[in-house]
Amino acid sequence: MKTVSVYPGINNYDILIGSGLLAQAGEKLKMLGCRGKAVVITDSSVNELYGPLLEQSLMAAGFETLILTLPPGEKQKTLANAGRLVTNLSSAYAERSTAILALGGGVIGDLAGFVAATYMRGVPLVQVPTTLLAQVDSSIGGKVAVDHGRLKNMIGAFYQPRLVISDVSVLKSLSPRFLSDGLAEVIKYGVITDTAFFEYLENNVECIKAFDEAALEETVYKSAEIKARVVEQDERDTGLRNILNFGHTVGHGIESVSDFKIGHGEAVSLGMLTAGKISFKLGKFNRSDLSRLKELLERAGLPVKLPDLKTESLLQAMQHDKKTTSGKIKFILVKGIGKAVISNEVSLALVEQVLADWNETT
Ligand SMILES: NC(=O)c1ccc[n+]([C@@H]2O[C@H](COP(=O)([O-])OP(=O)(O)OC[C@H]3O[C@@H](n4cnc5c(N)ncnc54)[C@H](O)[C@@H]3O)[C@@H](O)[C@H]2O)c1
Ligand SMILES: [Zn+2]
């Protein structure tokens, strides 16, 4: 097992990473000083696969355990569902000291986290992420939220968990689509901050895709550490955290113009390549690093060819993105593998040109 300790200012917490940790969750919760009731919030697919194992572990450690289940999917991340969960919690006499365990992907992590942040003004939250994206990204950093209509994450808070338990053995049942979503973020961490980690991924991407547990443990560990180090320097997302948006400005545009037929990881892959190509055009990134990025994305099973989407709609969607201001976009570029820079010099015209000349650069 590996541990990443996160120091966001107050309320420090640990991220535990390893195989077989779900069965130890009850003991870990007891070590936090929690007693009495424990409530697991999960979705029905994850519950079927891993609910009983977590429940047994909690009960064996003496917790009176309640499992609350929602259907899977982003559509469930609503204020109405948060309200329903609060009703369930209060019917079960959940108290201020009752821990909530969020067992699932980012949807459950965000929703259960939001409920934990607000029920009785805050109860202990334990994230038990079960997708690669949730283990390397959404369970770290304390952002919890629900969607509001079409507006993603519009109602939310910053609320740190007391503990994150990332059991890498549960990743084996993930569908390729959700593995890709996580892999795109993992590659992003290497590109923006860590050359050695990028090289590790170049050497191990096939093992990760084959769910080799040692490779997954190292990958989740390095990724969690990188995200933790970035967010603890910028807990409230006012500066440095911006580098985590590498690939996301164009990525969000692609997701939205494709009407979400192109998944998050796929869109971020294309977004990272666009950012790489822009960096190359501006003379910051060399051709061989750009090729390395493209090759790793390809080997990870992520797309590198621009889909047939209207550039005009894409640029429009990017202007609507919250990170956009009047013609110039706050863009995360790279000065080499492992070195992200925040730039205000990227114009929409330059993005348009890079998209038009897509096949020229690599
Ligand atoms: N809070 C943050 O900082 C942050 C960061 C990034 C993303 N997010 C949020 O995360 C959400 C996306 O998360 P996600 O990609 O994990 O999606 P998700 O939670 O919808 O999970 C994806 C699917 O995989 C299934 N699943 C989960 N674990 C599984 C397992 N081990 N085996 C088999 N199936 C499993 C789920 O039932 C679901 O159908 C979005 O709502 C996004 O806004 C939050
Ligand atoms: Zn992302």
Span 212-225, average pLDDT? 98
pLDDT of residue 155: 98
12-25 tens-digit pLDDT: 999 999 999 999 99
Q: Mind listing the pLDDT tens digit for each residue in 174-200?
A: 998 899 899 999 999 999 999 999 999
Decide: residue 327, CB within 10 A, 0-12 exposed, 13-18 middle, 19+ buried: exposed
Q: Report the percent of the chain where pLDDT is more than 90.
A: 88
Q: What value does the mean pLDDT take over residues 279-303?
A: 96
Q: What does the alpha-carbon distance between residue 16 and residue 221 come to, in Å, rounded to a whole number?
A: 9
Q: What is the DSSP letter of 307?
A: P
Q: What one-letter code names the amino acid at 215?
A: A
Testing ligand 1's pocket by substitution, the residue of 133, 169, 186 carrying the most ligand atoms inside 8 A of its CB is 133
Span 32-39, average pLDDT: 96
Ligand 1 atom nearest to 185, measured from its CA = 6
Q: How long, in residues, is the chain?
A: 362
Ligand 1 proximity of 67 Cβ (cutoff 6 Å):
no
- Higher per-residue confidence, 328 vs 293: 293
What pLDDT, on a 0 to 100 scale, did the predictor assign at position 233? 86
pLDDT at 351 exceeding the cut of 90:
yes
Confidence of residue 159 (pLDDT cuts 50, 70, 90): very high
Q: Say how many C-beta atoms besides its own lie within 10 A of residue 240's C-beta.
A: 15
Q: From ligand 2's centre to the CA of 298, what distance in Å?
A: 18
Average pLDDT over residues 245-266: 94
How does the average pLDDT of the chain come out, rounded?
94
Cα angle vertex 34, ends 33, 38, to 5°?
165
Q: How confident is the model at residue 57 (pLDDT cuts 50, 70, 90)?
A: very high
Q: Which of 13, 9, 4 is nearest to 124 (CA)?
A: 13
104 lines ligand 1 (CB under 6 A): yes
Distance 170 CA to ligand 2 centre (A): 21
The residue ranges of DSSP E strands in 105-192, in sequence order, are: 125-129, 143-148, 151-158, 163-167
**Residue 321 scores a pLDDT above 70:** no
Predicted confidence band at 327 (pLDDT cuts at 50, 70, 90)? low
| Residue nearest ligand 1's atom 39 by CA | 72
What is the rounded distance in angstroms from the CA atom of residue 132 to the CA atom of residue 211?
11
Question: In angstroms, rounded to a whole number, what is the distance separating the alpha carbons of residues 326 and 69?
Answer: 43
48-62, 161-175, 234-248, 334-348: least confidently modelled range? 234-248
**What pLDDT is attached to residue 329?**
82
Q: Is the pLDDT of residue 355 over 90?
A: yes
**pLDDT of 303-315, one tens digit each?**
999 999 999 999 9
Query: Is the pLDDT score of 150 beyond 90?
Result: no
300: helix, strand or coil? coil
pLDDT of residue 52: 98
Ligand 1 pocket test, pick from 45, 131, 188 with the greatest ligand atom count within 8 Å of Cβ, gives 131
- 226 and 194 in contact (C-beta within 8 Å)? yes
Three-state DSSP class for residue 140 = coil
The DSSP element (H or E) to which 346 belongs, if any, is strand 340-347
CA of 108 to the centre of ligand 1 (A): 7
The structure's pTM equals 0.96
Angle at CA of residue 269, ends 268 and 271, nearest 5°: 60
| pLDDT at position 237 over 80 | no
Q: Which residues of 27-60 are buried (b: 16+ CB within 10 A; e: fewer)?
A: ebbeeeebeebbbbbbbebbbeebbebbbebbee
Collapsing DSSP to helix, strand or coil, 84 comes out as helix
In a 10 Å sphere around its CB, with 0-12 CB exposed, 13-18 middle and 19+ buried, how is residue 87 labelled?
A: exposed
In sequence order, what are the residues at sequence separation of 6 or more whose Cβ sits closer than 8 angstroms to the Cβ of residue 192? 243, 244, 246, 332, 334, 338, 339, 340
What does the pLDDT read at residue 325? 53
